[in-house]
């Protein structure tokens, strides 16, 4: 799995490079990309970064007190979240607790790099997203073996870097931000509920339950006709010979067992008349999805 590690500023760059060297120990399927090391001389930096953003499956953003509002950090974070989704972007806090995180990046689940438990949770999450995962006990053993190496590197990076001029956030500021986030989530939930309600009210909703059962809900007009045709097709071919029925924009798709296909061919003319009389296309498929024949609605 490819991981894009974003940074801005010298401290974040050193952290990104430390993660780049350390993460593959957790799972050899991990391939990190850090722009400071993975862009060769003469290669166009922005085009390379854009390409990697599209190819990566997960993003880690190295955040410091001084860079959390940097345009580049927020650009890459926004690009990653659009490409991967919010659950696949992890802010990795280098020299600050989670409570001091501010700006657009607060919408993502952050990891405190000084907290061993937080970093372990991040590693488990990354391992779960890999195509080839490491067994949990083995992963824990590997983490315990190499955690000290990363921790030492991070402590050295913090100590060597100049003290940040960005003050800790006031409690009132944090509370105001939390209120804003709660209100935003409330608005999103309300909008989602409205969409769900509108979907439920669509009169043409069509649901297929058990393999050999077709159910039409809120039946009116075309839906009643489709239900009637579905029942007639079951009588012609045999309910036990139909594994699935699917409604399409133009009619019905009938998936049949081998015996069902044979029966459908035997009543070919009847199905043809039914499709024409009811103005509904009837298409016959084998159980595996192979196309057999269609009866147009005319």
Say which CATH topology domain 2-166 has: Rossmann fold (3.40.50)
Phi-psi region of 284 (alpha: psi -120 to 50; beta: other; left: phi over 0): beta
The pLDDT assigned to 142 comes to 97
Output the pLDDT for position 227. Answer: 85
User: Which residue reads 């459908």 in tokens?
Assistant: 264
Regarding pTM above 0.75, the answer is no
Task: Determine the pLDDT at residue 202.
Answer: 57
Handedness of CA 281, 284, 289, 292 (dihedral sign): negative
pLDDT recorded at residue 248: 80
pLDDT of residue 209: 47
Distance CA 19, CA 86 (A): 21
For the chain, which residues score pLDDT lower than 50?
38-44, 203-219
Listed by start position, the domains of the chain span: 2-166, 206-295
């Amino acid at each position: 799995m490819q991981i894009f590690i974003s940074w801005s500023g010298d401290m974040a760059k050193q952290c990104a490079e430390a993660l780049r060297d350390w993460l593959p120990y957790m799972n050899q399927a991990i391939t990190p990309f850090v722009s400071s090391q993975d862009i060769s001389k003469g290669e166009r930096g922005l085009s390379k970064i854009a390409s990697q953003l599209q190819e990566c499956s997960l993003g880690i953003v190295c955040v410091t007190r001084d860079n959390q509002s940097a345009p580049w950090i927020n650009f890459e974070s926004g690009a990653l979240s659009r490409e991967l989704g919010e659950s696949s972007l992890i802010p990795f806090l280098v020299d600050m607790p989670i409570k001091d995180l501010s700006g657009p990046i607060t919408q993502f689940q952050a990891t405190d790099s000084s907290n061993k438990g937080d970093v372990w949770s991040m590693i488990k999450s990354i391992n779960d997203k890999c195509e080839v995962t490491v067994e949990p006990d083995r992963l824990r053993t590997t983490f315990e073996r190499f955690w000290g190496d990363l921790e030492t590197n991070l402590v050295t990076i913090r100590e060597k870097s100049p003290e940040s001029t960005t003050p800790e956030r006031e409690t009132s500021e944090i509370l105001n931000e939390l209120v804003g986030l709660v209100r935003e989530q409330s608005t999103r939930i309300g909008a989602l509920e409205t969409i769900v309600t509108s979907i439920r009210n669509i009169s043409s909703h069509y649901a297929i339950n058990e393999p050999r059962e077709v159910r039409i809900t809120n039946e009116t007009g075309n839906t009643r006709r489709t239900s009637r045709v579905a029942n007639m097709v079951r009588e012609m071919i045999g309910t036990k010979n139909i594994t699935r029925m699917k409604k399409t924009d133009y009619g019905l798709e009938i998936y049949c067992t081998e015996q069902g296909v044979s029966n459908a061919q035997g009543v070919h003319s009847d199905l043809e008349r039914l499709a024409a009389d009811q103005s509904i296309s009837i298409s016959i498929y084998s159980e595996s999805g192979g196309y057999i024949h269609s009866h147009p609605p005319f």
